[in-house]
Amino acid sequence: MAEELLVVSNLKKYYPITGGVLGSEIGVVKAVDDISFSIRRGETLGLVGESGCGKSTTGRSLLRLIEPTSGKVYFDGVDVTALKPEEMRKMRRDMQIVFQDPFASLNPRHNIAKILEEPLIVHGVGSSAERRKRVEHMLEVVGLNSYHARRYPHQFSGGQRQRIGIARALMLNPKLIVADEPVSALDVSIQSQVLNLMQDLQREMGLTYLFIAHDLSVVRHISDRVGVMYLGRIVELATSSQLYTKPLHPYTQALLSAVPVPDPDDVRERVILQGDVPSPANPPSGCTFHTRCPHVMEECRTVRPPFQDVGDGHYVACHLYKTD
C-alpha cells in the first residue's frame, strides 16, 4: 500500500471572465494555478493563506465538487479526475468535507437524525434500524448525546453544530476529510475543543486531513506539514516545526510575524506587507508576490521562481534560495 493517500499534480482551476456584447472570453481568473502536493496516510496537511488565495477552491477541486480545469488527483492510487459521475459518487464515501459554516451546511428543516442518515441512504448503507444505531453512535463519538438526534440545527450552539458537521462527514467511515476552515466561525474557546476532537478522531479512526485555514496559529498544532498559498500557488511547504521555527518565504515570514507568541522574550519584528493582494484575474508577472515583497530583486519581476526542495523536504518558491 502506497504511503501517500492523496497525490495532487499540477492542479489548475481557471474561471473565464466574459464580457463585451457577445459575451466572449476576455480573460481568466487563475484561482488555483498549477499546484502539486501529496498527503500521507494518517497525516494532516494544513493549507493556509489569505482569503481569495485559492485554498478552498483547491479543496473543492480535488473532491471534484467543482471541476478542475486541468491536472491530476490520485486518491488511493485512483485518478479521480478521470472518474465518471457514478464512479465519483461512490468514491466520495472515502472523501468527505467539513464546511466552515455548519449552520448553512445543515438543512434547517431536517432533524439531526435525518441529516446524519442521509449519506447512508444516498449510498444504500444499512437497514433503517442499523442507520439509526449508527446515528446515535456517531453523535456520541463527537461528544453529543443520542437524544440530540430528534433536535433541529437551530437548537444547537455553533460548536455543537460543527460537531454535527463532523459527525455527518464521518458517517460513511471516510479515509480523507477536507476540513474547509472548520473552526473559523467559532469562538476561540470553542475552537480548541473542536480541534482536539478532530485530533482524537484522527487517532481513533486513522483519518487523513487536508485542513484549510486563513490563520497560521490555528493549523500549527493540528498539522504535520503546512503549505502556504498566495494567489493560487503554494509558495512554501514544510513540516510544522520547520515552518514555524524557520520560515523561508518572505510571505510566510510576514504571516508568522503577525501571529501573537506567548513567550515575552520572543520579540519578533512585525513585517507589515505593503499594498493589497493583487487580483488573480491580473496576477503580477514573475514571482506573483513581487509587488509586496520587502526583498524583491530584479529577476523576481520577470522570472517565476521554481517550487523546489531546499533541504529536508522544505519546499519554497523564491529566488532567494537557489539549490544549484
CA distance 186 to 189: 8
Residues near ligand SF4 (CB under 6 A), total: 14
Question: Is 17 an interacting residue with respect to ligand SF4 (CB under 6 A)?
Answer: no
- Under the binding rule (CB under 6 A), the answer on residue 319 touching ligand SF4 is yes
Q: Which residue, 194 or 243, has its beta carbon nearer to ligand SF4?
A: 243
- Output DSSP code: residue 296: -
Q: How far is residue 74's CA from residue 39's CA, in Å, rounded to a whole number?
A: 11
Our finding on whether 148 is near ligand SF4 (CB under 6 A) is no
Q: How far is the CB of 188 from ligand SF4 (least distance, A)?
A: 31
Contact between 320 and ligand SF4 (CB under 6 A)?
yes
Q: What is the DSSP letter of 100?
A: S
Sole window of 113-121, 149-157, 263-271, 286-294 interacting with ligand SF4 (rule: CB under 6 A): 286-294
Cβ count within 10 A of residue 214: 18
Max alpha carbon distance in the chain (Å)?
A: 68
How far apart (Å, rounded) are the C-alpha atoms in residues 31 and 56? 10
Residue of 116, 104, 252 lying closest to 181 (CA atoms): 104
CA atoms of 41 and 89, how far apart (whole Å): 22
Q: How far is the CB of 218 from ligand SF4 (least distance, A)?
A: 24
Q: Is 243 in the site for ligand SF4 (CB under 6 A)?
A: no
295 binds ligand SF4 (CB under 6 A): yes
Residue 318 binds to ligand SF4 (criterion: CB under 6 A): yes
CA distance 19 to 40: 43
Contacting residue, 305, 307, 314, 315, with ligand SF4 by CB under 6 A: 305
Could you tell me if 9 and 71 are in contact, meaning their C-beta atoms sit under 8 angstroms apart?
Answer: yes
Which residue type occupies 54?
G
Determine if 250 is a binding residue for ligand SF4 (CB under 6 A).
yes
Binding status of residue 285 toward ligand SF4 by CB under 6 A: no
Considering the rule CB under 6 A, would residue 287 count as an interface residue with ligand SF4?
yes
Q: How far is the CB of 310 from ligand SF4 (least distance, A)?
A: 12
Nearest Cα neighbor of 90 from 56, 116, 64 is 64
Q: Which of 37, 75, 209, 289 binds ligand SF4 (CB under 6 A)?
A: 289
| Best CA proximity match to 120, nearest among 110, 131, 112, 111 | 131
Nearer to ligand SF4, 83 or 320 (CB): 320
**Applying CB under 6 A, does 290 fall inside the site for ligand SF4?**
yes
Q: Which residues lie near ligand SF4 (CB under 6 A)? A: 249-250, 287, 289-290, 293, 295-297, 300, 305, 318-320
